[in-house]
Structure 1
């Protein structure tokens, strides 16, 4: 009652919109009063029509009593079917159905009364046409009242909410674009308002879609004021080519508009489309085609098997765990030395996969005694070795730590896989292992050589497989999260060199290919992945700044800090003296790299571990250069070892 009084008081004072929208629903007593007034009006209207048609009613002297009977019967059935109980502003077909039931029951009762009266007196109390006429009039007006109230409140809510909503222009006029626009219109609770459509076509200028205009780029370029109607453009990535995506992104950002991305239409229900709208991210602009993996073969390798993932709490390892969990293995052992990330992953996985059996083990892979107990206890069928140190500058300063984890740790896991007859051992390597210029890359190449050598070692039945790929988007320490943090702080965005380029792949995509490669081959293969086109880091930074709503070098500065120790301008997936062999999967190739015998690589690994124990940096790197002859240091203190090696070779020639 108080809300209603406030609403009417607002009408008088002029603060109409605010107070009327605060009225959540009409009180039930008011709905009953209005419905009774509708009944009165319907009776009057029915008799008015009869009078205009010059039709004489029966028992005209008892017209008041006859009307009271109609009103009483109708009110009775209103209470029986509770036509007043629904919230008018949210009326549905069910509410209309209750009105039909109440009015239909009223009509049936009045017809019955009329028939009984006719049997007893010989003349009917009401004219039969007048009862049917009353029925249709009353139902129509009650239904109209509810529809009008619903639309009135919706209009008020739209007027109130649109001021704070983002006005979006949907790109495209096809079926998918129209479906998305319709979802925005039908979801008033979301913070978006459809403001029109954008297209490159010129044949739709005068057409309307869902009551909104269609604009093309040429119109907006000629009439810049048109852009003021929009706050953002909404892009559907799945129906666009890479060039179209970049064209519309540039068009929007150059005019100060936000760029929003619709969710994947194949994965989202219509009711979730609007809620899944997100701001376009730099990852979307790489526009890599989705990877298709052969799930049946991958599932067969993991179904009801025990699986170990080392480095399981890292960005790559954790995604491998998530994907393996979908194939219902008997047990997944997640091993990592990082305590907090391991615990956080445990909480996530137990919630996400409540039926899957997990074991979370805190351990260092350089401790072979600790590892052996794990292998002895669980009897693994598949081992994914993702544990590694990967930060180039830090490892350049601490080469002995790279030996302990990347080389000794790999040796421990690989030898135990052989000893306990693991079916397949899959190592996650990096493109930095190809013609390495830093300790991290060289240590991974040494690990590759050791793993390869085990394939033909005495008594081995395990298939040893290596996978090699470039940078992964969003992984720990990767460039995109780093740039994002710098932009959020207002800059500057720091880049090592204006010409530096990198290959990029998403974490799920990389892990899908790791799982796929793990089912292929006979062992000793190094699988390299199709990384697509390389990306210039300077262009990447500029795009990220624009997507954040800033202008490069004006709002956010870009500074060049020089190559870090061990860093090179471009990464390679293949060394100079290798060839590739295609596989049945178009995204996976085999790299035919040189390899070493187990005896030779094992002897060198023992030497480098001894040097690492003594913390002799120069000796560690010198032995590493013997293991990996193509390792030429760049922008590093270890360049002197390369100079010494060159001088020694010259002396030998003389």
Structure 2
């Protein structure tokens, strides 16, 4: 589309705001004509300066028209040779500047040669005071041509920045260190990102009068003192990897108080290369709850898996699928993944085969409560390690269907663990839960029963398998956990439903939880229950407030919070250790061994057989009564089974 048609479209479409940054590039001949005008101006300036600075009554030019046309002709010749007009001015580079220098220098040199030849042939000077004149001409012509390009480049840069700033989210960059500056430069240089950086933010007070990348540096005091409208900002961009948890919480509390949006930056490489505006994401509640991951460099973990055959039950679930991802990094010979959920199993199969094409996988659709279905797997593959993550875990559903929890959590665990012992698997690692400690619901009691069985199996005659249990709290982002649930409620406009204003929970990330599982499998000597230092518990109502604010909304105003009462089997506070348990330190301060009461194998096996038969008959009350005999500390809470405790 020509410039004329573009202008007509602007005029007659009713849009009277001419967007200068969208103007098409000028024809090259127009640029050449503009450059010639500057050459003429340079000639005139040089002549004027010579006449004013050097007292000389003699005419500078012997033939004014001859000199003008000679210099202009030579200039055009070298402009064509070096194609100084071919570059797009608003995108001028050092190469374009160098071409200008060569063109003006060669023009000056050739004019000097022509002037010298003219004197020899004609017998008079074409340019009086030729050397001073040509020096001034060279300097002025190059300067004018350069300044013209610099002006156009800066003009379009200012227009573009103005346009961007009016349409884009105005943000501050948190930090003034090298990483923060590099992050800011990457945002400024990436036209695909819908953000305009207005300055930097720091805790320090010695940078008030300094600037970075031409942007001001603001102090925390200024953010605390003024509103975001006065400061002219919409949000803050931060790099959470550069901050401690305490620093992160302090800044985030301030930003939320000031109703500022909080964005987190990816790696610098992603920022520079991404054409996707969603590269910079809004800070999520998981980023605030996520502690610095515990990484234990242990070559034994690799040795336990390298070239080995591994079974992972519940492999399509949140924990099981992450265990697969981490185990695959250690290059086992084969990973057998077992789950009864068809669609999730199909999805994890597609992901694993695409992500780890060199690892051998076997995906098995089966129910662990069916021993005859899973025993052939032990016969065929001779597993070195078993990670047992299969379980029913949703408290209210299991409270309604206790017999189903028995068949999976107890009978299923019994089947897998006894087969592991029978076929001399080296290590068996069971994933348990903090709800097994002083349980108030069927789910927790069923998992505690499974713990007791696995521990008892350790000491049976002829057993060489090391049975290890890991116990931890809620994992961020797992299926059915509170955070995804709150996110959906916020997206729908609320309300957020919380069972009780005082309810608290421990949280950890899925990768962190699975790292614990793998470490426990290496550290354990058999019969241990490993518990994890999960830090301070989080109050769920505080979690909800922060999630609402991080979404740019106001609790109780934009998103109501409704208390629905404790669900069947739910308790206010989760615990990782029972009252009568003692703990032992391991070689890592964050991982402890819980010494809980145990039970003889004959006794727990008898209980398991009884409760399994009751579950198969669908006797809910009998099932819960037996659970309370197996786990005496199991006291039902907010449940129809509270009557059994009396």
Q: TM-score range by the shorter chain?
A: 0.7 to 0.9
Question: Partners of 1:320 and 1:94 in 2: how far apart?
Answer: 54
Partner SS, residue 541 of structure 2: helix
Partner SS, residue 633 of structure 1: coil
Partner of 1:647: none
Question: Partners of 1:192 and 1:269 in 2: how far apart?
Answer: 12
The alpha carbon displacement at 1:58 in A equals 9.3
Partner of 1:31: 31
Partner of 2:165: 162
Partner of 1:291: 294
The alpha carbon displacement at 1:195 in A equals 3.2
Closer, same or farther: CA 412–29 of 1 in aligned 2, 3 Å: farther
Closer, same or farther: CA 522–262 of 1 in aligned 2, 3 Å: same
Partner of 1:546: 549
Are the counterparts in 1 of residues 194 and 277 from structure 2 also a CA contact under 8 Å?
no
Partner of 1:67: 71
Please give the per-residue CA displacement for 1:464-517, whole angstroms capped at 9, x wherever unaligned: 211110001111111111122222222222211222111111112111222222
Question: Partners of 2:395 and 2:382 in 1: how far apart?
Answer: 35
Please give the per-residue CA displacement for 1:601-636, whole angstroms capped at 9, x wherever unaligned: 223222222222211112222222333232222222
Please give the per-residue CA displacement for 1:193-245, whole angstroms capped at 9, x wherever unaligned: 23344455555555555544555555566555864522223444445454544
Q: TM-score, normalised by structure 1?
A: 0.86
Partner of 1:151: 154
Closer, same or farther: CA 143–373 of 1 in aligned 2, 3 Å: farther
Question: Partners of 2:323 and 2:536 in 1: how far apart?
Answer: 24
Question: Partners of 2:479 and 2:335 in 1: how far apart?
Answer: 23
Partner of 1:603: 606
Partner SS, residue 543 of structure 2: helix
Please give the per-residue CA displacement for 1:33-60, whole angstroms capped at 9, x wherever unaligned: 4344445555555566566656988985
For residues 433-448 of structure 1, the aligned pairs below 5 Å read: 433-448=436-451
Partner of 2:20: 20
Question: Partners of 2:13 and 2:413 in 1: how far apart?
Answer: 79
Question: Partners of 2:43 and 2:178 in 1: how far apart?
Answer: 49
Are the counterparts in 2 of residues 10 and 19 from structure 1 also a CA contact under 8 Å?
no
Please give the per-residue CA displacement for 1:161-211, whole angstroms capped at 9, x wherever unaligned: 222222223445555544444444444542222334445555555555554
For the pair 1:393 / 2:403, whether they are aligned, the reply is no
Partner of 1:91: 92
Shifted more, 610-619 versus 426-435: the winner is: 610-619
Partner SS, residue 18 of structure 1: coil
Shifted more, 576-585 versus 619-628: the winner is: 619-628
For the pair 1:612 / 2:581, whether they are aligned, the reply is no
Q: 2:81 aligns with which of 46, 58, 77?
A: 77
Please give the per-residue CA displacement for 1:135-164, whole angstroms capped at 9, x wherever unaligned: 555444443333322222222222222222
Shifted more, 543-552 versus 444-453: the winner is: 543-552
Question: Partners of 1:95 and 1:358 in 2: how far apart?
Answer: 58
Question: Partners of 2:352 and 2:29 in 1: how far apart?
Answer: 53
Closer, same or farther: CA 376–481 of 1 in aligned 2, 3 Å: same
Question: Partners of 1:373 and 1:133 in 2: how far apart?
Answer: 95
Closer, same or farther: CA 73–221 of 1 in aligned 2, 3 Å: closer
Question: Partners of 1:108 and 1:124 in 2: how far apart?
Answer: 16
Closer, same or farther: CA 372–140 of 1 in aligned 2, 3 Å: farther
Partner of 1:646: none
Partner SS, residue 523 of structure 2: coil
Question: Partners of 1:131 and 1:500 in 2: how far apart?
Answer: 86
* Alignment length (residue pairs): 639
Shifted more, 631-640 versus 10-19: the winner is: 10-19
Are the counterparts in 2 of residues 237 and 261 from structure 1 also a CA contact under 8 Å?
no
Partner of 1:3: 3
The alpha carbon displacement at 1:23 in A equals 1.9
Unmatched 5+ stretches in structure 1: 644-654
Are the counterparts in 1 of residues 497 and 564 from structure 2 also a CA contact under 8 Å?
yes
Are the counterparts in 1 of residues 70 and 111 from structure 2 also a CA contact under 8 Å?
no
Q: 1:563 aligns with which of 557, 566, 573?
A: 566
Are the counterparts in 2 of residues 183 and 274 from structure 1 also a CA contact under 8 Å?
no
Partner SS, residue 500 of structure 2: coil
Q: 1:259 aligns with which of 258, 261, 264?
A: 261
Partner of 1:453: 456
Are the counterparts in 1 of residues 237 and 265 from structure 2 also a CA contact under 8 Å?
no
Closer, same or farther: CA 596–122 of 1 in aligned 2, 3 Å: farther
Shifted more, 557-566 versus 390-399: the winner is: 557-566
Question: Partners of 1:427 and 1:548 in 2: how far apart?
Answer: 37
Partner SS, residue 368 of structure 2: coil
Question: Partners of 1:301 and 1:123 in 2: how far apart?
Answer: 97
Are the counterparts in 1 of residues 312 and 324 from structure 2 also a CA contact under 8 Å?
yes
Question: Partners of 1:566 and 1:242 in 2: how far apart?
Answer: 33
Closer, same or farther: CA 574–67 of 1 in aligned 2, 3 Å: same
Closer, same or farther: CA 263–359 of 1 in aligned 2, 3 Å: farther
Closer, same or farther: CA 500–111 of 1 in aligned 2, 3 Å: same
Question: Partners of 2:36 and 2:423 in 1: how far apart?
Answer: 85
Partner SS, residue 518 of structure 1: helix
Question: Partners of 2:501 and 2:219 in 1: how far apart?
Answer: 36
The alpha carbon displacement at 1:117 in A equals 9.3
Closer, same or farther: CA 389–41 of 1 in aligned 2, 3 Å: same
Q: TM-score, normalised by structure 2?
A: 0.87
The alpha carbon displacement at 1:579 in A equals 0.8
- How big is the alpha-carbon RMSD for the aligned residues of Structure 1 and Structure 2? 3.7
Partner of 2:594: 591
Partner of 2:577: 574
The alpha carbon displacement at 1:573 in A equals 0.7
Please give the per-residue CA displacement for 1:434-462, whole angstroms capped at 9, x wherever unaligned: 11111111111121122222323333332
Partner of 1:403: 406
Are the counterparts in 2 of residues 220 and 226 from structure 1 also a CA contact under 8 Å?
no
Partner of 1:412: 415
Closer, same or farther: CA 407–86 of 1 in aligned 2, 3 Å: farther
Question: Partners of 1:518 and 1:467 in 2: how far apart?
Answer: 9
Q: 2:386 aligns with which of 375, 383, 388?
A: 383
Shifted more, 163-172 versus 221-230: the winner is: 221-230
Q: 1:249 aligns with which of 249, 252, 275?
A: 252
Question: Partners of 1:29 and 1:358 in 2: how far apart?
Answer: 66
Question: Partners of 1:378 and 1:416 in 2: how far apart?
Answer: 12
Closer, same or farther: CA 216–114 of 1 in aligned 2, 3 Å: closer
